[in-house]
Chain A
Amino acid sequence: MDHDKIRANLSAYKDNELSGSFRDQIALHLQGCETCCEELRKLDRIDALVRELPQISAAENFASGVISKAQAASAPGHHIWSLPHRILDRFLFLGDSVFGLFRGFEAQEGALDEFGDSPPLSLSHAYFQLIDR
Protein backbone atom coordinates (compact mmCIF):
# COMPACT_ATOMS: atom_id res chain seq x y z
CA MET A 1 0.00 0.00 0.00
CA ASP A 2 1.37 3.43 -0.90
CA HIS A 3 2.09 6.26 1.52
CA ASP A 4 -0.59 8.59 0.10
CA LYS A 5 -3.34 6.05 0.71
CA ILE A 6 -2.04 5.41 4.23
CA ARG A 7 -1.82 9.13 5.05
CA ALA A 8 -5.34 9.76 3.73
CA ASN A 9 -6.62 7.25 6.25
CA LEU A 10 -4.33 7.90 9.22
CA SER A 11 -6.84 10.25 10.85
CA ALA A 12 -9.58 7.61 10.81
CA TYR A 13 -7.03 4.95 11.86
CA LYS A 14 -6.04 7.06 14.84
CA ASP A 15 -9.72 7.41 15.80
CA ASN A 16 -10.21 3.64 15.51
CA GLU A 17 -12.87 4.12 12.83
CA LEU A 18 -11.52 1.79 10.14
CA SER A 19 -12.69 -1.71 9.36
CA GLY A 20 -10.67 -4.63 10.72
CA SER A 21 -8.71 -5.74 7.63
CA PHE A 22 -7.87 -2.22 6.43
CA ARG A 23 -6.86 -1.28 9.95
CA ASP A 24 -4.55 -4.30 10.08
CA GLN A 25 -2.96 -3.34 6.75
CA ILE A 26 -2.21 0.16 8.04
CA ALA A 27 -0.84 -1.20 11.32
CA LEU A 28 1.45 -3.51 9.34
CA HIS A 29 2.63 -0.63 7.15
CA LEU A 30 3.34 1.54 10.19
CA GLN A 31 5.62 -1.14 11.62
CA GLY A 32 8.05 -0.61 8.76
CA CYS A 33 7.52 3.02 7.76
CA GLU A 34 9.04 5.76 9.90
CA THR A 35 7.64 8.54 7.66
CA CYS A 36 4.03 7.46 8.20
CA CYS A 37 4.73 6.90 11.92
CA GLU A 38 5.92 10.51 12.13
CA GLU A 39 2.66 11.61 10.41
CA LEU A 40 0.69 9.72 13.02
CA ARG A 41 2.72 11.33 15.82
CA LYS A 42 1.94 14.77 14.36
CA LEU A 43 -1.77 13.98 14.45
CA ASP A 44 -1.36 12.92 18.09
CA ARG A 45 0.38 16.23 18.84
CA ILE A 46 -2.41 18.22 17.20
CA ASP A 47 -5.04 16.41 19.27
CA ALA A 48 -3.00 16.88 22.46
CA LEU A 49 -2.74 20.63 21.79
CA VAL A 50 -6.49 20.89 21.08
CA ARG A 51 -7.23 19.06 24.34
CA GLU A 52 -5.11 21.63 26.19
CA LEU A 53 -7.24 24.53 25.02
CA PRO A 54 -8.89 26.24 27.99
CA GLN A 55 -12.40 25.01 28.73
CA ILE A 56 -14.98 27.49 29.96
CA SER A 57 -16.84 26.51 33.12
CA ALA A 58 -20.39 27.68 33.60
CA ALA A 59 -20.95 30.60 35.95
CA GLU A 60 -22.49 29.90 39.36
CA ASN A 61 -25.82 31.44 38.36
CA PHE A 62 -26.00 29.46 35.09
CA ALA A 63 -28.63 26.96 36.25
CA SER A 64 -30.75 29.59 37.97
CA GLY A 65 -30.62 31.66 34.76
CA VAL A 66 -31.95 28.72 32.74
CA ILE A 67 -34.70 28.06 35.29
CA SER A 68 -35.84 31.68 35.36
CA LYS A 69 -35.86 31.84 31.54
CA ALA A 70 -37.88 28.59 31.43
CA GLN A 71 -40.34 30.03 33.95
CA ALA A 72 -40.64 33.24 31.95
CA ALA A 73 -41.22 31.23 28.77
CA SER A 74 -44.05 29.22 30.33
CA ALA A 75 -45.68 32.27 31.92
CA PRO A 76 -49.22 33.18 30.69
CA GLY A 77 -49.14 35.58 27.77
CA HIS A 78 -45.83 34.32 26.43
CA HIS A 79 -47.49 32.04 23.84
CA ILE A 80 -49.29 34.99 22.26
CA TRP A 81 -45.95 35.96 20.77
CA SER A 82 -44.77 32.50 19.79
CA LEU A 83 -46.37 32.48 16.30
CA PRO A 84 -45.10 35.94 15.22
CA HIS A 85 -41.74 34.98 16.71
CA ARG A 86 -41.63 31.80 14.65
CA ILE A 87 -42.60 33.70 11.48
CA LEU A 88 -39.85 36.24 12.19
CA ASP A 89 -37.40 33.40 12.82
CA ARG A 90 -38.19 31.81 9.42
CA PHE A 91 -37.89 35.20 7.76
CA LEU A 92 -34.46 35.77 9.34
CA PHE A 93 -33.40 32.27 8.29
CA LEU A 94 -34.40 33.06 4.70
CA GLY A 95 -32.34 36.25 4.97
CA ASP A 96 -29.38 34.20 6.21
CA SER A 97 -29.66 31.81 3.26
CA VAL A 98 -29.76 34.67 0.73
CA PHE A 99 -26.91 36.39 2.55
CA GLY A 100 -24.91 33.14 2.50
CA LEU A 101 -25.44 32.76 -1.24
CA PHE A 102 -24.23 36.29 -1.93
CA ARG A 103 -21.23 35.90 0.34
CA GLY A 104 -20.36 32.80 -1.61
CA PHE A 105 -19.23 35.00 -4.52
CA GLU A 106 -16.26 36.07 -2.47
CA ALA A 107 -15.72 32.70 -0.81
CA GLN A 108 -13.96 29.53 -1.82
CA GLU A 109 -13.27 28.40 -5.33
CA GLY A 110 -11.95 24.91 -4.52
CA ALA A 111 -13.63 21.69 -5.53
CA LEU A 112 -16.22 20.11 -3.28
CA ASP A 113 -14.83 17.48 -0.99
CA GLU A 114 -18.17 16.49 0.46
CA PHE A 115 -21.71 17.63 -0.23
CA GLY A 116 -22.21 18.12 3.48
CA ASP A 117 -19.40 20.70 3.58
CA SER A 118 -20.25 22.49 0.37
CA PRO A 119 -19.35 26.13 -0.33
CA PRO A 120 -21.83 28.87 0.51
CA LEU A 121 -22.43 29.75 -3.14
CA SER A 122 -23.80 26.36 -4.11
CA LEU A 123 -27.37 25.15 -4.18
CA SER A 124 -26.27 22.10 -2.20
CA HIS A 125 -25.18 24.42 0.62
CA ALA A 126 -28.62 26.04 0.68
CA TYR A 127 -30.20 22.57 0.52
CA PHE A 128 -28.16 21.25 3.45
CA GLN A 129 -28.97 24.38 5.44
CA LEU A 130 -32.66 23.77 4.80
CA ILE A 131 -32.62 20.10 5.77
CA ASP A 132 -30.54 20.90 8.87
CA ARG A 133 -33.41 23.01 10.21
Chain B
Amino acid sequence: MGDRYSAEDLAQEVFLRVYRSASEFEPRGKVSTWIFKIAYNLSLDEIARMRRLCLLADTEGEEVEPTAPNLLEGQELKQTLMDCVQRLPEKQKAALLLRVNEELSYSEIGRILSTSVSSVESLIHRARGNLRKMLGGILEDNSGSR
Protein backbone atom coordinates (compact mmCIF):
# COMPACT_ATOMS: atom_id res chain seq x y z
CA MET B 1 0.00 0.00 0.00
CA GLY B 2 3.00 2.26 0.31
CA ASP B 3 2.62 3.40 3.90
CA ARG B 4 1.62 2.03 7.26
CA TYR B 5 -1.53 4.12 7.68
CA SER B 6 -3.03 3.10 4.34
CA ALA B 7 -2.25 -0.54 5.13
CA GLU B 8 -3.91 -0.22 8.54
CA ASP B 9 -7.01 1.46 7.09
CA LEU B 10 -7.27 -1.29 4.52
CA ALA B 11 -6.83 -4.01 7.16
CA GLN B 12 -9.67 -2.43 9.18
CA GLU B 13 -11.83 -2.39 6.07
CA VAL B 14 -11.04 -6.09 5.53
CA PHE B 15 -12.36 -7.01 8.98
CA LEU B 16 -15.36 -4.77 8.46
CA ARG B 17 -16.17 -6.65 5.23
CA VAL B 18 -15.66 -9.95 7.06
CA TYR B 19 -18.14 -8.80 9.74
CA ARG B 20 -20.68 -7.60 7.15
CA SER B 21 -20.52 -10.68 4.93
CA ALA B 22 -20.06 -13.35 7.61
CA SER B 23 -23.33 -14.97 6.50
CA GLU B 24 -21.87 -15.50 3.00
CA PHE B 25 -18.97 -17.60 4.29
CA GLU B 26 -19.13 -21.20 3.09
CA PRO B 27 -17.77 -23.55 5.77
CA ARG B 28 -16.26 -25.84 3.10
CA GLY B 29 -13.12 -23.68 3.00
CA LYS B 30 -10.82 -22.24 5.65
CA VAL B 31 -11.75 -18.95 7.28
CA SER B 32 -8.21 -17.64 6.75
CA THR B 33 -8.42 -18.30 2.99
CA TRP B 34 -11.70 -16.39 2.84
CA ILE B 35 -10.23 -13.44 4.77
CA PHE B 36 -7.10 -13.41 2.56
CA LYS B 37 -9.35 -13.37 -0.52
CA ILE B 38 -11.25 -10.35 0.80
CA ALA B 39 -7.95 -8.65 1.66
CA TYR B 40 -6.50 -9.38 -1.79
CA ASN B 41 -9.57 -8.05 -3.63
CA LEU B 42 -9.70 -4.92 -1.47
CA SER B 43 -5.97 -4.33 -2.02
CA LEU B 44 -6.43 -4.55 -5.78
CA ASP B 45 -9.33 -2.07 -5.58
CA GLU B 46 -7.24 0.30 -3.48
CA ILE B 47 -4.21 0.04 -5.80
CA ALA B 48 -6.46 0.75 -8.79
CA ARG B 49 -7.96 3.74 -6.96
CA MET B 50 -4.48 5.07 -6.11
CA ARG B 51 -3.38 4.70 -9.73
CA ARG B 52 -6.50 6.47 -10.93
CA LEU B 53 -5.99 9.37 -8.55
CA CYS B 54 -2.22 9.74 -8.54
CA LEU B 55 -1.29 8.09 -11.84
CA LEU B 56 1.30 6.06 -9.99
CA ALA B 57 3.86 4.34 -12.17
CA ASP B 58 2.46 0.97 -13.12
CA THR B 59 5.13 -1.73 -12.90
CA GLU B 60 2.77 -4.50 -14.03
CA GLY B 61 4.46 -6.43 -16.79
CA GLU B 62 7.47 -4.16 -17.05
CA GLU B 63 10.82 -5.71 -17.69
CA VAL B 64 12.68 -6.03 -14.44
CA GLU B 65 16.05 -4.34 -14.29
CA PRO B 66 18.80 -6.04 -12.33
CA THR B 67 19.95 -4.18 -9.27
CA ALA B 68 23.62 -3.26 -9.34
CA PRO B 69 25.60 -5.94 -7.59
CA ASN B 70 27.14 -4.54 -4.48
CA LEU B 71 27.62 -5.42 -0.86
CA LEU B 72 24.47 -4.43 0.96
CA GLU B 73 23.91 -5.02 4.61
CA GLY B 74 21.24 -4.63 7.25
CA GLN B 75 18.73 -1.87 6.65
CA GLU B 76 19.98 -1.09 3.15
CA LEU B 77 19.59 -4.70 2.08
CA LYS B 78 16.07 -4.85 3.52
CA GLN B 79 15.09 -1.62 1.76
CA THR B 80 16.48 -2.88 -1.56
CA LEU B 81 14.65 -6.17 -1.16
CA MET B 82 11.43 -4.35 -0.23
CA ASP B 83 11.76 -2.22 -3.39
CA CYS B 84 12.34 -5.33 -5.49
CA VAL B 85 9.28 -7.08 -4.04
CA GLN B 86 7.20 -3.91 -4.62
CA ARG B 87 8.26 -3.92 -8.27
CA LEU B 88 6.81 -7.38 -8.87
CA PRO B 89 3.45 -7.54 -10.68
CA GLU B 90 0.62 -7.60 -8.10
CA LYS B 91 -0.45 -11.18 -8.69
CA GLN B 92 3.11 -12.54 -8.58
CA LYS B 93 3.79 -10.59 -5.38
CA ALA B 94 0.62 -11.83 -3.70
CA ALA B 95 1.27 -15.46 -4.69
CA LEU B 96 4.87 -15.37 -3.47
CA LEU B 97 4.09 -13.69 -0.15
CA LEU B 98 1.18 -16.04 0.55
CA ARG B 99 3.49 -18.99 -0.10
CA VAL B 100 6.65 -17.80 1.67
CA ASN B 101 5.21 -15.85 4.61
CA GLU B 102 1.90 -17.62 5.18
CA GLU B 103 3.05 -21.05 3.95
CA LEU B 104 -0.21 -21.65 2.08
CA SER B 105 -0.50 -24.45 -0.47
CA TYR B 106 -0.83 -23.66 -4.18
CA SER B 107 -4.47 -24.73 -4.09
CA GLU B 108 -5.25 -22.33 -1.20
CA ILE B 109 -3.44 -19.52 -3.00
CA GLY B 110 -5.43 -20.35 -6.14
CA ARG B 111 -8.70 -19.94 -4.22
CA ILE B 112 -7.56 -16.56 -2.87
CA LEU B 113 -6.38 -15.22 -6.23
CA SER B 114 -9.27 -16.89 -8.11
CA THR B 115 -6.93 -18.79 -10.38
CA SER B 116 -5.83 -22.36 -11.12
CA VAL B 117 -3.10 -24.30 -9.32
CA SER B 118 -0.96 -24.36 -12.48
CA SER B 119 -1.30 -20.60 -12.76
CA VAL B 120 -0.18 -20.22 -9.12
CA GLU B 121 2.81 -22.45 -9.86
CA SER B 122 3.72 -20.23 -12.80
CA LEU B 123 3.19 -17.01 -10.81
CA ILE B 124 5.47 -18.14 -7.99
CA HIS B 125 8.10 -19.47 -10.41
CA ARG B 126 8.13 -16.12 -12.27
CA ALA B 127 8.12 -14.09 -9.04
CA ARG B 128 11.21 -15.95 -7.79
CA GLY B 129 12.84 -15.63 -11.22
CA ASN B 130 12.18 -11.88 -11.33
CA LEU B 131 13.50 -11.39 -7.81
CA ARG B 132 16.58 -13.41 -8.70
CA LYS B 133 17.13 -11.21 -11.75
CA MET B 134 16.59 -8.01 -9.77
CA LEU B 135 18.73 -9.04 -6.82
CA GLY B 136 21.47 -10.33 -9.09
CA GLY B 137 24.79 -9.79 -7.37
CA ILE B 138 23.20 -9.15 -3.99
CA LEU B 139 22.12 -12.77 -3.89
CA GLU B 140 25.68 -13.90 -4.54
CA ASP B 141 27.16 -11.44 -2.04
CA ASN B 142 24.87 -12.51 0.76
CA SER B 143 25.14 -16.21 0.11
CA GLY B 144 28.23 -16.56 2.20
CA SER B 145 26.69 -14.95 5.24
CA ARG B 146 23.87 -17.51 5.44
Interface of A is mostly: helix
Q: Kindly provide the distance from the CB of B88 to the nearest chain A CB, expressed in whole angstroms.
A: 11
| A residues 8-56 touching B (CB-CB < 8 Å) | 8, 11-12, 15, 17, 41-43, 45-56
Q: Kindly provide the distance from the CB of B8 to the nearest chain A CB, expressed in whole angstroms.
A: 6
Q: Kindly provide the distance from the CB of B22 to the nearest chain A CB, expressed in whole angstroms.
A: 11
Does A132 interact with chain B (Cβ within 8 Å)? yes
Does B70 interact with chain A (Cβ within 8 Å)? no
Q: Contacting B92 at CB < 8 Å: which of A48, A100, A115, A117?
A: A117
Mask of A113-133 contacts with B, CB within 8 angstroms, 1/0: 111110110000000100111
Does B128 interact with chain A (Cβ within 8 Å)? yes
Interface of B is mostly: helix
Given contacts A73-B16, A120-B61, whether A50 and B96 have CB atoms under 8 Å apart is: yes
B126 in contact with A46 (CB, 8 Å): no
Q: Kindly provide the distance from the CB of B73 to the nearest chain A CB, expressed in whole angstroms.
A: 12
The contact size tier of chain A is: 35 or more
Given contacts A11-B121, A15-B124, A47-B100, whether A58 and B11 have CB atoms under 8 Å apart is: yes
B142 in contact with A51 (CB, 8 Å): no
Q: Kindly provide the distance from the CB of A6 to the nearest chain B CB, expressed in whole angstroms.
A: 12
Does B39 interact with chain A (Cβ within 8 Å)? no
B106 in contact with A51 (CB, 8 Å): no
Q: Contacting A46 at CB < 8 Å: which of B60, B105, B135?
A: B135
- Report chain A residues within 8 Å CB of B132: 42-43, 46
CA distance A108 to B4 in the complex (A): 30
The contact size tier of chain B is: 35 or more
Does B7 interact with chain A (Cβ within 8 Å)? yes
B124 in contact with A107 (CB, 8 Å): no
Q: Kindly provide the distance from the CB of A103 to the nearest chain B CB, expressed in whole angstroms.
A: 6
A8 in contact with B16 (CB, 8 Å): no
CA distance A69 to B89 in the complex (A): 32
B97 in contact with A50 (CB, 8 Å): yes
- Report chain B residues within 8 Å CB of A119: 60-61
Q: Kindly provide the distance from the CB of A58 to the nearest chain B CB, expressed in whole angstroms.
A: 7
6 residue pairs of the A-B complex, CB under 8 angstroms, read: A12-B125, A43-B132, A53-B78, A66-B15, A92-B52, A96-B48
9 additional A-B pairs beyond A46-B139, A66-B16, beta carbons within 8 Å, are: A42-B143, A53-B78, A53-B82, A55-B101, A93-B45, A103-B58, A114-B115, A114-B118, A119-B61
Interface residues of B (CB under 8 A from A): 4, 7-8, 11-12, 15-16, 19-20, 41, 44-45, 48-49, 51-52, 58, 60-62, 77-78, 81-82, 85, 89, 91-92, 96-97, 99-101, 105-106, 113-119, 121-126, 128, 131-132, 135, 139, 142-143, 146
